[in-house]
């Protein structure tokens, strides 16, 4: 295939064919479309969302928004190999990452600037029928891709996607340097939030239950590490909830200070117990849900390129395609100081994924 030529035929893809079943399938290469680019995917990040999709426990599956078979993959990095009509040809050859939200662009929500919340949106590899990046090629709107800065490894650049969510949380909170921040959780989002707060010169404490994750948070700039039971009360102006645990409710309002802002980033699998609504009133708290973000990908890539965020501190291992199943099993294991696992798709040829 010459540079810029759009390939045809079929390609290998990693697919959840049924709950608990991960296999390599042959699927059609997507056809050219106006305003779209074709990316040869190099690396794929996996997170708890992908694990829940594989298990069939995801809210998107139970609500009927997503159906098996599912081609997953919303955190990715790759190289543009072809462009559709109306897309500048100079994008070919660029290393890129991308935003996962594919929105209608016409509804009141989109026109209000909240395309990540479009009621008719697709989320790449997560919500709806649009296939994700777990394949040799991914077709995606050119407006969704962002060029990876020179000097940033592609496997590291894919962390810009979850970092956008963290930046959106700080922006929604209107967080100011020097304000005390509490981060609940030591997964990828939690450890990214610790690094962002530290880069803002804000005192940041981490609250969690995993000893290794708490140690990593301290190495990344957290001032103190607490269990939910031991964390101080009324101490933080910004509280970022990144566990997605339904049991975290009592800690949310207790640790928040007067006029504090609580940012819900994790997505619990069921209603959260023990949230003290009276405290929201008497302490004047504000609760905001954060799903991704808008126009923050360039800023995320800059923070990675600038060294304010350390991908190597978060990525435990890069698995070959043949080890994809092992990677999902590893995601379920506790006690991992580095929460992010990555799959190298460069050798995706059709072999069994472990």
Residue 1 binned pLDDT confidence (cut-offs 50, 70, 90): low
143-173: burial string, b at 16+ Cβ within 10 Å, e else: ebbbebeeebbbbbbbbbbbbbbbbbbbebb
Are 345 and 42 spatial neighbours (Cβ–Cβ below 8 Å)?
yes
Dump pLDDT digits (tens) for 70-80.
999 999 999 99
Residue found by looking up tokens 């609504």 in the block = 277
pLDDT at 350 over 80: no
User: Does a cis peptide bond (omega within 30 degrees of 0) precede residue 69?
Assistant: yes
Distances (CA, A) of 267 to 5, 44, 217, 270: 41, 21, 21, 9
Question: Is the model more confident about 46 or about 62?
Answer: 46
Dump pLDDT digits (tens) for 140-176.
999 999 999 999 999 999 999 999 999 999 999 999 9
CA 214 – CA 210 distance, rounded (Å): 6
What percent of the chain is predicted at pLDDT more than 70?
97
CA nearest neighbour of 194 among 170, 229, 160: 170
pLDDT at 294 over 70: yes
pLDDT of 59 reads 85
Ordered DSSP codes for 20-32: TEEEEEEEEPPPP
pLDDT of 2 reads 58
pLDDT of 201 reads 95
Dump pLDDT digits (tens) for 79-106.
999 999 999 999 999 999 999 999 999 9
Q: Is the dihedral of CA 292, 296, 302, 306 positive or negative?
A: negative
pLDDT of 352 reads 46
CA 171 – CA 296 distance, rounded (Å): 10
CA 100 to chain centre: 9
Dump pLDDT digits (tens) for 259-283.
999 999 998 878 888 899 999 999 9
Dump pLDDT digits (tens) for 3-58.
689 999 999 999 999 999 999 999 999 999 999 999 999 999 999 999 999 999 88
How many Cα atoms occupy the beta-carbon half-sphere of 100 within 13 Å? 29
Query: Residue 184's beta-bridge partner residues?
Result: 207, 241
Dump pLDDT digits (tens) for 304-329.
999 999 999 999 999 999 999 999 99
pLDDT at 351 over 80: no
pLDDT at 303 over 60: yes
Distances (CA, A) of 270 to 246, 253, 267, 273, 284: 6, 19, 9, 9, 26
Dump pLDDT digits (tens) for 229-258.
999 999 999 999 999 888 889 999 999 999
Are 95 and 147 spatial neighbours (Cβ–Cβ below 8 Å)?
yes
CB atoms within 10 A of CB 349: 11
Question: Is the model more confident about 59 or about 99?
Answer: 99
CA 208 – CA 206 distance, rounded (Å): 7
């Amino acid at each position: 295939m010459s540079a810029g030529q759009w390939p045809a035929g079929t390609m290998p893809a990693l697919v959840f064919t049924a709950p608990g079943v991960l296999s390599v399938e042959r699927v059609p290469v997507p056809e050219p479309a106006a305003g779209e680019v074709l990316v040869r995917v190099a690396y794929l990040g996996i997170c708890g969302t992908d694990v829940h999709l594989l298990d069939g426990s995801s809210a998107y599956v139970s609500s009927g928004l997503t159906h098996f078979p599912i081609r997953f993959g919303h955190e990715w990095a790759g190289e543009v190999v072809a462009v559709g009509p109306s897309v500048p040809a100079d994008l070919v050859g660029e290393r890129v990452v991308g935003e996962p939200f594919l929105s209608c662009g016409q509804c009141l929500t989109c026109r209000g600037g909240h395309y990540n919340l479009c009621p008719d949106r697709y989320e790449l590899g997560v919500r709806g029928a649009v296939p994700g990046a777990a394949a040799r090629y991914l077709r995606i709107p050119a407006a969704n891709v962002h060029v990876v800065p020179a000097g940033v490894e592609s496997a590291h650049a894919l962390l810009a996607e979850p970092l956008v969510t963290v930046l959106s949380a700080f922006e929604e909170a209107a967080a100011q340097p020097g304000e005390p921040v509490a981060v609940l959780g030591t997964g990828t989002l939690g450890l990214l939030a610790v690094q962002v707060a530290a880069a803002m010169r804000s005192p940041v404490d981490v609250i969690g239950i995993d000893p290794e994750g708490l140690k990593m948070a301290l190495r990344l700039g957290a001032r103190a590490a607490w269990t939910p039971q031991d964390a101080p009360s009324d101490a933080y102006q910004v509280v970022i909830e990144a566990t997605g645990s339904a049991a975290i409710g009592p800690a949310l309002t207790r640790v928040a200070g007067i006029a504090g802002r609580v940012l819900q980033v994790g997505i619990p699998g069921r209603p959260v117990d023990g949230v003290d609504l009276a405290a929201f009133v008497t302490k004047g708290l504000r609760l905001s849900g954060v799903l991704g973000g808008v126009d923050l990908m360039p800023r995320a890539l800059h923070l990675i390129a600038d060294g304010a965020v350390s991908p190597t501190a978060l990525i435990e291992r890069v698995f070959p395609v043949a080890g994809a199943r092992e990677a999902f099993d590893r995601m379920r294991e506790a006690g991992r100081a580095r929460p992010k696992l990555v799959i190298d798709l460069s050798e995706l040829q059709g072999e069994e994924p472990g």
